[in-house]
Amino acid sequence: MFNKKTVRDVDVKGKRVLVRVDFNVPMKEGKIKDDTRIRAAVPTIQYLLDNGAAVILCSHLGRPKGGPSAEFSLQPVAEHLQKVMGRPVAFVDDCVGPKAEAAAAALKPGGILVLENTRFYPGEEKNDLDLARQMAALADIYVNDAFGTAHRAHSSTEGVARFLPGVAGFLMEKEIKYLGEAVESPRRPFVAILGGAKISDKIGVIKNLLTKADTVLIGGGMANTFFKAQGYPVGDSLVEEEAVQTAADLLKIGGDKLRLPVDMVIASAFDAEAEKKTLAVGPVPEGWRILDIGPETAAAYSKVIAAAGTVVWNGPMGVFEFPRFAEGTFAIARAVAESSAVSVIGGGESVAAVQQSGVADKITHISTGGGASLEMLEGLVLPGLAALQDK
């Protein structure tokens, strides 16, 4: 149940509105490679403009070390946003201080201003309240529409809401609605699919989902650690040695709910062109490594997915970046797309897999936040959300 105020609940006419967006887009040589996150913010920006607000946007980009650098400037993002919006977008090369204040003061209703990267200030990630106070001084209202950073308590995501009335944007509302409902009041059977390399960053998620889901399907590199916990030699496969005991404990807690692969695709090297074999789950020969789930696993998992009422998927089933080891991941993507379940995909790699397999338009909701969606699936409170006003 989404119980936070949104942009619909405040009068923004004639007001300056500071919007925390997630413009942390992939860049190469100053060019934006994928503008999904920019486009995801447009509904909130457009609504504010239509209702007479002056819109000031702030975001981080990348991980700048030790202050401003051209590589991490948001200027190319501002220029791209101008094309997307089809209207002028101003940019200022600071996010607080005299320049930012002058640019914000000059902004008229219907105008858009993009501030420079918030992480150019080391205080941002420490939730420095003096920095937050300076950001808040630029506006009358604060909107958080950056679900992707809602799990961080930073100056621009949590601190600002202490000095301005804070509400959610439409993207934040949509993300919380789909992810929250999937976990708290799912249509059943509720099936969770977890992949990716590591168990360690998903222990809390697996534990929480074992109390909520009807079935948890495991794939990807994390399955190797479960195999090791079952006593199988796994050759040169990626294994988290320090998580083997945790995997053994999860197998005990999980019982019949926790399903592991029954077959596997192994490779002679970590290489797109490596020799490959499909084997039933068991000992992996020395020098070989598991790079995908096998066809029997894909078929068995697809059957479970076909009967589901809700599916939440985070993490690929194998090294899908190598086309010859992408079959398991793409089979699961197709199964999710073809099911009549409410489907929620979170995490950058699962999103990429769904897009590459050409079924993205058949997914109910594709999350823009990796870490934030994981923390929601774990049942944790997101500081960026908690800081906003309750309805």
DSSP assignment of 249-318:
HHHHHHGGGEE--SEEEEESSSSTT--EEEEESSPBPTT-EEEEE-HHHHHHHHHHHHT-SEEEEES-SS
How confident is the model at residue 377, as a pLDDT? 86
d(CA 372, CA 380): 9
Q: Reply yes or no on whether 348 is catalytic.
A: yes
How confident is the model at residue 109, as a pLDDT? 97
Which residue among 133, 198, 212, 362 is the active-site one?
A: 198
The answer to whether domain 7-171 has CATH 3.40.50.1260 is yes
Which residue among 4, 16, 20, 37 is the active-site one?
A: 37
Task: For residue 122, give both structure tokens.
Answer: 């080391």
pLDDT tens over the chain, length 391 residues: 678 999 999 999 999 999 999 999 988 888 898 888 999 999 999 999 999 999 999 999 999 987 899 999 999 999 999 999 999 999 999 999 999 999 999 999 999 999 999 999 999 999 999 999 999 999 999 999 999 999 999 999 999 999 999 999 999 999 999 988 888 889 999 999 999 888 888 888 999 999 999 999 999 999 999 999 999 999 999 999 999 999 999 999 999 999 999 999 999 999 999 999 999 999 999 999 999 999 999 999 999 999 999 999 999 999 999 999 999 999 999 999 999 999 999 876 888 888 888 898 999 999 888 788 888 888 888 999 999 999 9
Task: For residue 255, give both structure tokens.
Answer: 């019982």
**Residue 60's Cα: distance from chain center in Å?**
15
Which residue among 159, 294, 347, 348 is the active-site one?
A: 348
C-alpha distances (whole Å) from 292 to each of 200, 222, 223, 387 are 19, 11, 10, 41
How confident is the model at residue 1, as a pLDDT? 65
Kindly report, as residue ranges, where domains of CATH 3.40.50.1260 are found in the chain. Answer: 7-171, 178-377
CATH superfamily of the 178-377 domain: Phosphoglycerate kinase, N-terminal domain (3.40.50.1260)
Taking the CA atoms of 263, 267, 271 and 274 in sequence, report the sign of the dihedral they define. negative
Q: Reply yes or no on whether 346 is catalytic.
A: no
Q: Reply yes or no on whether 198 is catalytic.
A: yes
